[in-house]
Amino acid sequence: MTRGRRRGAPDTRAEVLRSARVLFAEHGYTATSVRSIAARAGVDSALVHHYFGTKADLFMAVLAVPVDPRRLLEPVVVAGAQSAGAGIVRTLLGVWDDPELRAPFLAVFRSVLEPGGDVLLRDGFLVAVIRPVLVDLKVDHVDLRLALVASTVLGLLTARYLLAIEPLASMPDVEVVETYAPVLQRFLTDPGVVAGSGQQ
């Protein structure tokens, strides 16, 4: 904030985070380079990588989610596409039903639904976090399936947590998995879903 700040590490880290937050929100994840973030923060790209790792790692730091969804989704990838529907729902519930994690995740979720926050979800979280999972699962028509999975998960999060619609809000995890896994599985792997979608 102050102009005459020291170039010490904490200030530099904060400045890089601020620059990344602004550029990701303005231009999205894809169109924002680590170089442009570094330039705006007045530091070298190498320093950005040193502090934060990859561009995706930096994006996760900007989102400030309390756990890294990429790490949580690793077992889903290992288990393979044919069980990914249930795996994704189970992973999601594991985070959102944890009383320590729900509030911070809900805050992030609210912020990306607000005008201006949408790009962080659409060309941010989905591209940096969820798309690589679908690529690693080797599903076809990645972008279409990504959009359908996103819509299902967004609906579940909105209905169960944001709006707390009963009886879904109080439904035991195992029943939520039974209910939503078939929807996600169809959207992830059913050839019929893309039948009409031509060149997607």
Binding site for a copy of itself (CB under 8 A): 110, 113, 115, 118, 121-122, 126, 143-144, 146-148, 150-156, 158-160, 162-169, 171, 174-175, 178-179, 182-183, 186, 193, 195-197, 200
Q: Taking the complex as a whole, how short is the minimal distance between the CB of residue 162 and a copy of itself, in angstroms? A: 7
Query: Cβ distance 51 to 13 under 8 Å?
Result: yes
Name which of 44 and 178 has its Cβ closer to a copy of itself: 178
**CB neighbours of residue 168 within 10 Å:** 16
Q: Taking the complex as a whole, how short is the minimal distance between the CB of residue 120 and a copy of itself, in angstroms? A: 10
Name which of 95 and 153 has its Cβ closer to a copy of itself: 153
Q: Taking the complex as a whole, how short is the minimal distance between the CB of residue 195 and a copy of itself, in angstroms? A: 8
Name which of 91 and 152 has its Cβ closer to a copy of itself: 152
- Tokens standing for residue 68: 């890294």
Q: Taking the complex as a whole, how short is the minimal distance between the CB of residue 15 and a copy of itself, in angstroms? A: 29
Q: Taking the complex as a whole, how short is the minimal distance between the CB of residue 88 and a copy of itself, in angstroms? A: 14
156 vs 169: CA distance, rounded Å: 10
Name which of 22 and 193 has its Cβ closer to a copy of itself: 193
Provide CB contacts within 8 A for 135, sequence distance 6+. 142
Query: Cβ distance 161 to 102 under 8 Å?
Result: yes
Instruction: Report which of 54, 52, 50, 46 is spatially closest to residue 18, judged by C-alpha positions.
Output: 52
Q: Taking the complex as a whole, how short is the minimal distance between the CB of residue 174 and a copy of itself, in angstroms? A: 7
Name which of 26 and 44 has its Cβ closer to a copy of itself: 26
- Taken as a whole, the chain contains a residue count of 200
Helices (H), the chain: 9-27, 34-41, 45-52, 55-63, 69-72, 74-79, 84-96, 99-113, 118-120, 131-136, 142-157, 173-189
Name which of 54 and 200 has its Cβ closer to a copy of itself: 200
169 phi, psi to nearest 5 deg: -65, -35
